[in-house]
Homo-oligomer: A and B are copies of this chain.
Amino acid sequence: MVLTNNIQLSPAGFDLATYLAHCQAQVEAALDQALPVVYPEKIYEAMRYSLLGGGKRLRPILCLTTCELVGGTVEMALPTACALEMIHTMSLIHDDLPAMDNDDLRRGKMTNHKVYGEDIAILAGDGLLAYAFEHIATQTRNCPPEALLEVVARLGRAVGAAGLVGGQVMDLDFEGQTNVSVETLHFIHTHKTGALLEACVVCGGIIGGATPLQVQYLTQYAQNIGLAFQIVDDILDLTATREVLGKTAGKDLQAQKITYPRLWGIEESRRQAQNLVDEAKEALMSFGERAKVLVAIADYITTRNY
């Protein structure tokens, strides 16, 4: 079975919400299948609790979309898409721990350690991270092993000290400090959230057989929407309510975190986000009409309200 999302939903008329809902259901089903509960049940239940706890699934969807964009199939990219969500979930579980951000609420539900205890939450994160790599290596079909190794390498880098972990360390370091430069804030976000988003976009491309030039364009696209995404997140933390966000709102303000709106003000932050989105779309020029999904996702980032 060759799954394809683009063809089913085009060219008659493209509606991003329909496309995202379709992909989300696909990812949900694949995640559910990827992690069955076996003995010892408790750890699998803890992993599934956070993995299947909702969320927009934007990361795996980006991976599926770029794979199709360069000529691959959804099927080829699904294991990596699931792995990306596992890694993202791991980072959320560990970030929420009392020793880190100490958060009780995530995606509208109790955080993992509130339900299962800190010890299990730490292990559930470790388990998801390890399983992500296993899942890619054992479940991917019809993709050259060299390409998969490159995916493993890029994912590892995106999560480790050169990526997400490094960004989180700096974020913790500067918490409560008001004297933070734009450069430091950029470092935090390009690492804490940007690196994994970039891996989503680029790994989908690599699996689908992207040329080096295409990988370069996809990287530019990803870096721009990554930062735009974070700026909008910061704005939403200030302007949206807890009910809409599904997590504690105003948290950044409470924690005295430096954010883009605090450095630039809300209006300038919106302008910067828009510039980044425009640059992201420019990077897709050479793909033409086929890139319409990625273009629509870029636009969605600045217009979303949760």
Chain B, residue nearest A191 (CB): B40
Find out whether the CB atom of B40 lies under 8 angstroms from the CB atom of A127: no
Stretch at the interface among A7-15, A58-66, A166-174, A259-267: A166-174
Known contacts A119-B100, A153-B137, A161-B43; is-contact A129 B131 (Cβ 8 Å): no
Instruction: For the complex, give the distance between the alpha carbons of A161 and B125 in Å.
Output: 10
Stretch at the interface among A142-150, A213-221, A240-248, A293-301: A142-150
Find out whether the CB atom of A127 lies under 8 angstroms from the CB atom of B161: yes
Known contacts A119-B100, A145-B149; is-contact A156 B169 (Cβ 8 Å): no
Known contacts A42-B169, A165-B43, A169-B120; is-contact A131 B145 (Cβ 8 Å): no
The reply to whether the CB of A130 lies closer than 8 angstroms to some CB of chain B is yes
Residues in B with CB closer than 8 Å to A129 are 126, 129-130
The reply to whether the CB of A152 lies closer than 8 angstroms to some CB of chain B is yes
- A150-180 near B? 1/0 per residue, CB < 8 Å: 1011011101111101101110110000000
Known contacts A145-B146, A169-B42; is-contact A126 B125 (Cβ 8 Å): yes
Known contacts A123-B165, A125-B126, A133-B156; is-contact A42 B173 (Cβ 8 Å): yes
Find out whether the CB atom of B126 lies under 8 angstroms from the CB atom of A94: yes
Instruction: For the complex, give the distance between the alpha carbons of A134 and B133 in Å.
Output: 10
Find out whether the CB atom of B137 lies under 8 angstroms from the CB atom of A160: no
- List the number of copies, as a whole number: 2
- A23-54 near B? 1/0 per residue, CB < 8 Å: 00000000000000010101110010000000
Contacting B at CB under 8 A, from A210-246, are none
Find out whether the CB atom of A133 lies under 8 angstroms from the CB atom of B145: no
Instruction: For the complex, give the distance between the alpha carbons of A212 and B169 in Å.
Output: 43
Find out whether the CB atom of B99 lies under 8 angstroms from the CB atom of A118: yes
The reply to whether the CB of A201 lies closer than 8 angstroms to some CB of chain B is no
Partner of A134, one of B97, B120, B157, B169: B157
- Kindly list 17 other residue pairs between chains A and B, CB separation below 8 angstroms, not including A126-B160, A130-B156: A42-B169, A43-B161, A43-B166, A44-B161, A99-B118, A100-B119, A127-B159, A127-B161, A130-B159, A130-B160, A133-B155, A134-B153, A134-B156, A137-B152, A137-B153, A149-B149, A149-B152
